[in-house]
Amino acid sequence: MYTVLAKETLAPNLIRMEFLAPRIAKRHLPGQFLIVRATEEGERVPLTIAEADPERGSVAIIFQVVGVSTRQLGALEVGSSLASATGPLGMPSDFHGARRVLCLGGGLGTAVLYPQVSALHALGVEVDVIEGARSAEYIILERELRRKCGRLYLVTDDGSRDRKGFVTDVLREVLAGGETYDLCIAIGPPAMMRAVAEITRPHALRTVVSLNPLMLDGTGMCGCCRVQVGGQTKYACVDGPDFDGHQVDFDSLVRRLRGFAEEERRINERYETEMHPCGGRCHDR
C-alpha cells in the first residue's frame, strides 16, 4: 500500500522520499508527524510530514541516513513499499494569529521547518528564514524556501556558502537591528534550539521549538518520549512535538537522547559486519 513514488538525495545522506498514504495525506496538518517502518521486522521511526498531496494520495518525508533503521529506509527504491506508515500523529502547529514570523532551521531541522513555512505562507503571514548548515553541500530546500519567505539568510559553519557562523549569529544581528516579530520558530539540534530561546527571551519573543526525544508507539502510552516543559512532564507524541522554547528543560532532553548511544553504536557495527560482502570474515583479520 505504501508504495514509494519518488526518491531524491538532497544532500549527503539526506533523502526525500514520497510514497502513497492517502488517508494521512488527506488528514495531516502542519507540524504533525508519522511513524514508518521500512520492513516488517524494522524499528518504528518518527518523521515529520514534509509535504502532502491529497489528490495524489501521497506524503513526503525527509530523513538522514544515520543508523540501521534509516539505512533500511534509504535502501527502498521507487516501486517498492514501506511496511507501514502510521499517522498523522502529534498536535498541529498553532501560530496564534501571528502576522510576522522568524523561522530558524539548523541542519536536518530545516526539513522539519519547511512545512511550517509553507503553512504560514499559505495563510498570508510574512516569514523570514535563517537556515544553517555544516557546509554549502548541506544547504537544502533553498529554492522552495525562497518562494515562500520574504528574506532567506544562509549561514554555514565553514563559510563555504554566504556567511560563516551559526544561525544564532544572524538572529542576534536581526533582533539588534530593530526587526520585530510576533513569533519565532526554531528547529534543529537541542543546543541550537536552547541558544535561540536564550537570545529571544530578553526580547519577550514567543519562541516555539520542535522536540525529537526517543519515541516508540507515538500514542502517549509508553512514556518513552517524555520531556520536561515548565516543570511538568509532557509527551512529545501527543502534547507536541511543538513546545514553548522558554519553558523546555533542554538538559533533561539531551540526557535522554544520549541514553542509548552505546547500544546504537554496537547495533550499527553489527549491521555493517553482517551486511558486508565478506560476511564479516574480513573484520576478524
pTM: 0.91
What was the pLDDT predicted at 275?
A: 66
Task: Quote the mean pLDDT of the chain.
Answer: 92
Residue 154 burial (CB count, 10 A): 18
Band the pLDDT of 258: cuts 50, 70, 90.
confident
Between CA 17 and CA 216 the distance in angstroms is 22
For 212-222, b where at least 16 C-beta lie within 10 A, e where not — what string? bbebeebebee
Band the pLDDT of 222: cuts 50, 70, 90.
confident
Residue pair 59/52 in contact (Cβ under 8 Å)? The answer is: yes
248 DSSP assignment: B
Q: Which fold has domain 2-89?
A: Elongation Factor Tu (Ef-tu); domain 3 (2.40.30)
Helices (H), 34-166: 68-74, 109-122, 142-148
Residues of the chain with CATH 2.40.30.10: 2-89
Between CA 42 and CA 163 the distance in angstroms is 41
What was the pLDDT predicted at 281?
A: 45
Residues of the chain with CATH 3.40.50.80: 100-210
CATH of domain 100-210: 3.40.50.80
List pLDDT tens digits, range 128-186: 999 999 999 999 999 999 999 999 999 999 999 999 999 999 999 999 999 999 999 99
Between CA 202 and CA 205 the distance in angstroms is 8
